[in-house]
Amino acid sequence: MKFVALFGPPGCGKGTQAARLKDALSVPHVSTGDMFRDHKARQTELGVKVQQLLDAGQLVPDSITDAMVRERLGREDVATGVLLDGYPRNVSQADELLTILSDLGKELSAVVAIDVPGDVVRARLAKRADEQGRGDDKDPETVNNRLVVYEEHTAPCVPHLESKGVTVHHIDGVGSVDEITSRILGALGIS
Ligand code: ADP
């Protein structure tokens, strides 16, 4: 079973790597950021509720996020594996993920943490704002919020999950896209 959670600060290349890894692992890619952006674009009830938080770079409340992930992980297409991207984002969500998986009779196989220095991610986010025009990349204050939220709330999930017995792979995220993909696949024992 391949239940893998991907961690890394905004702008670390997580989305790019996730797209490649899901093919290598042959599992669906579940990105909570993509799910929320999709709700926002469709202006669903959830989308309307969360759009201001997304635009400010703040976390959506756990109750909303946990329920969305629990529903998603209960579906058939992720019965044998999933690549989680953007969840968990704080220690409470990390515990909830372990509970959700255990309720489903599954367990978290591994965590992959992509490590990139702060100044590198800031430069990459500025470039992405120009190229893709993603709302939450444009405003420096929002970018800064996302980095602070990552450091304060999300990064601690990695040692927390490790302390619960989950295998953690730290990957150096500085290098070419191909190099980083092969580092991750090597760590996961897929080549
Ligand atoms: P980034 O590239 O900044 O890591 P994502 O695409 O993963 O961004 O997420 C974008 C936004 O969606 C976050 O800034 C946050 O508002 C919301 N979000 C995504 N995942 C979660 C989560 N697990 N808990 C709370 N909010 C989330």
- Which residues carry out catalysis? 14, 89, 128, 134, 146
The pLDDT assigned to 140 comes to: 83
Q: Whose CA is nearest to atom 10 of ligand 1?
A: 33
**For a pLDDT cut of 70, what percent of the chain falls above it?**
99
Q: Is the pLDDT of residue 1 over 70?
A: no
Ligand 1 binding pocket includes 17 (Cβ within 6 Å)? no
**For a pLDDT cut of 90, what percent of the chain falls above it?**
79
Average pLDDT, the chain: 94
Residue with tokens 């730290």: 170
Q: How far apart are CA 27 and CA 128, in angstroms?
A: 27
The pLDDT assigned to 142 comes to: 87
The pLDDT assigned to 103 comes to: 98
Specify the pTM. Answer: 0.91
pLDDT in tens, 111-141: 999 999 988 888 888 888 888 877 788 788 8
Residue range 2-187, CATH number? 3.40.50.300
Q: Look at phi and psi of residue 83 and say left if phi exceeds 0, alpha if psi is from -120 to 50, else beta.
A: beta
Sorted by where each begins, the domain ranges of the chain are 2-187
pLDDT in tens, 143-182: 888 999 999 999 999 999 999 999 999 999 999 999 999 9
Q: How far apart are CA 40 and CA 47, in angstroms?
A: 4
